[in-house]
Amino acid sequence: MKTSKTTLNKENRCEQNISIYVHIPFCEQKCNYCAFNSFCASEKVKDEYLDLLCKEIQVRKIDRKVQTIYIGGGTPSTLSCAQIEKVGKCIFENFEVMGNSEFTIEANPNSITEELLKTWQGLGVNRLSVGVQSLDDESLKKIGRLHTKMQAVEKLELASKFFDNISADLIVGLEGETSEKLCNFANQLLSCGVKHISCYLLEIYQNTKLFELIKKGKYHPLDDDKTIDNFNALADFLQEKGMWRYEISNFVFPDFESQHNLNYWKRGEYLGFGLSAHSFLDGIRSKNAETLAEYKKGKRKYEKLTKKETLEEIIMLGLRCYAGVELDKVKRLGYDITKNAFFEEYKKDGILIQKDDKIFLNPKFYHLSNTIISNLFA
């Protein structure tokens, strides 16, 4: 039987509900562009990590209802059925998970199997996030992905027999990409039943293989202007297909919005478990250790946000998603953004749109969001 999509009853949500993120840092192979905390590991290391992870969940449990769970990575689909069952059971044994909660797991096309899909379904997973990145075999190979276009399509089709709510990630700005190719990839994803597409601009990080390849002239990412043109063409295409852009990088059919992401963007509270996972609870942010050795010692860094940092966060998150920014809320925190030198100018140029007490960033200017947001603090 297929798991139906989850729509959280918004009336049922109260301030007290939290989200849970669990980090699985393991991958079958490190992709050339990736700077996330992820690596290859033996089954022994994985099992040791899962023991520590479950211990952390037990020790840090709190008496708060859980509205969303997200198991991300790395690649959670590299865990065996028994390993992921252990993680899932541990969460449910230690937390009261709401009946209508959203439960997402991240997966790579090459490691999705029918057996795993059934196991995830049995655990209560009701949303998949699949890293497709591209549907061009040459491009996939050049960025170090293990799957082909055909495998991605086949696995999405298989997954859609079990799950209604599937998201796919695409990277924009890869070598050889054109707007036609990109829209064609998106069209194929929609044909596979994908309901949500996350589109990320290629970021080039110094400590990656891609950085070295570019330096040696062996990889040629698109230039910035072409990348933005392609992204805009993709955004138009997805919106013509009936998706809405509920955040700068995220497109979705109505009712399939990621409740977990919405909680982050609205600055809701969450607990993060595992290597380098972040938490936000009672106004305090904390981050787990980044290395296994430190994680074993249970090290975690705490940070109480200053008023200014809180403001920056509210404005940045609000302007990058459909929710916008409440002017009064910002004013109560001590910053009258309407007095900022750029505010009226941005409104006049149609960059900022004001509706009653809220301001929104015009999606046409999303690609300039970093500059606009930093100017609003100047």
Backbone angles phi, psi at 44, to 5 degrees: -65, -45
DSSP H helical ranges for the chain: 43-59, 81-94, 114-123, 137-142, 149-159, 179-191, 209-215, 224-240, 259-265, 292-296, 307-320, 327-332, 341-348, 369-375
Q: How far is CA 149 from CA 34, 190, 371, in A?
A: 19, 14, 36
33 binds ligand SAM, rule: CB under 6 A:
yes
Of 250, 6, 283, 16, the closest CA to residue 127 belongs to 6
137 binds ligand SAM, rule: CB under 6 A:
no
Partner from ligand SF4, ligand SAM, none binding residue 171, C-beta < 5-8 Å depending on class: ligand SAM
**Which residue stretch of 23-31, 61-69, 115-123, 369-377 sits at the interface with ligand SF4 (rule: CB under 6 A)?**
23-31
**Which residue stretch of 26-34, 91-99, 308-316, 344-352 sits at the interface with ligand SF4 (rule: CB under 6 A)?**
26-34
Stretch 96-135: interaction string toward ligand SF4, x if CB under 6 A: ------------x----------------------x----
Contact (Cβ atoms closer than 8 angstroms) between residue 5 and residue 256:
yes
162 binds ligand SAM, rule: CB under 6 A:
no
Stretch 83-122: interaction string toward ligand SAM, x if CB under 6 A: -----------------------x-x--------------
Of 190, 192, 181, 185, the closest CA to residue 170 belongs to 185
Task: Kindly tell me which of 75 and 263 has the beta carbon lying closer to ligand SAM.
Answer: 75
**Which residue stretch of 14-22, 31-39, 194-202, 231-239 sits at the interface with ligand SF4 (rule: CB under 6 A)?**
31-39
Structure token pair of residue 4: 């139906």
SS (H, E, C) 301-318: EEEECCHHHHHHHHHHHH
* Other CB atoms within 10 Å distance of the CB of residue 30: 15
Instruction: Identify residues 64-83 at the interface with ligand SF4 (CB under 6 A).
Output: 73-75
Binding site residues, ligand SAM, CB under 6 A: 33-34, 36, 73, 75, 106, 108, 131, 133, 169, 171, 200, 202-203, 205
